[in-house]
Amino acid sequence: MTDIRNGTWVLIADGEKALFLRNDLDEVNLDLNVVRIEEQDNPSDREQSANRPGRMADNGAGQRSALDDTDWHELAKERFADDLADILYKLAHKGRFDRLVICAAPKTLGELRDKMHKEVSQRVIAEVPKDLTNHPLDKVEQMLATEFA
């Protein structure tokens, strides 16, 4: 059983927004308070792409194939996970948290897990593969209390 005791940090993240929270009560009565918010402006891929996808000649006479364009929106989400991993490392290195629960969309959680420094990974006490970024804090507290009951 994981307990989110006083002082435990909770990171709630998706590919564009992250909330760094701290539990200021105990494991029975969660009181999550915002310590830091990170957001990135990530317009849709269509708004970020400058060109239409290119074409390439095939082996057959007069045949051409379309090339996939870079998905800038998805690339920005991956870079955001890199940024979060860097922020977590700096905060851990400064001793800002000893215990961390990560609640993130599954893809973001995987990206974060790959990018996290060992100093951060050692402090992770639980991972929740859910996107809770748009939930009010009282609902997040209820969900986490249920998850770890």
pLDDT one-digit tens code per residue, 87-128:
999 999 999 999 999 999 999 999 999 999 999 999 999 999
Domain 1-36+72-149 is found in CATH 2.40.50.140:
no
Q: Do 84 and 13 contact (CB within 8 A), yes or no?
A: yes
For 105, phi and psi rounded to 5 degrees? -55, 145
Q: Give residue 45's pLDDT.
A: 47
Q: Quick count: other Cβ atoms within 10 Å of Cβ 49?
A: 14
Any bridge partners for residue 65, and if so which?
56
As a whole number of angstroms, the distance between CA 15 and CA 132 comes to: 12
Amino acid at 22: R
- pLDDT in the model for residue 69: 58
For residues 146 and 149, give the distance between their C-alpha atoms in angstroms, rounded to a whole number.
Answer: 5
Beta-strand pair 55-57/9-13: unpaired
Instruction: Please give the sequence-ordered ranges of beta strands (E in DSSP) within 24-139, or none if there are none.
Output: 32-39, 55-57, 64-66, 100-104, 124-128
pLDDT at 42 over 50: no
CA angle 113, 114, 115 (to 5 degrees): 95
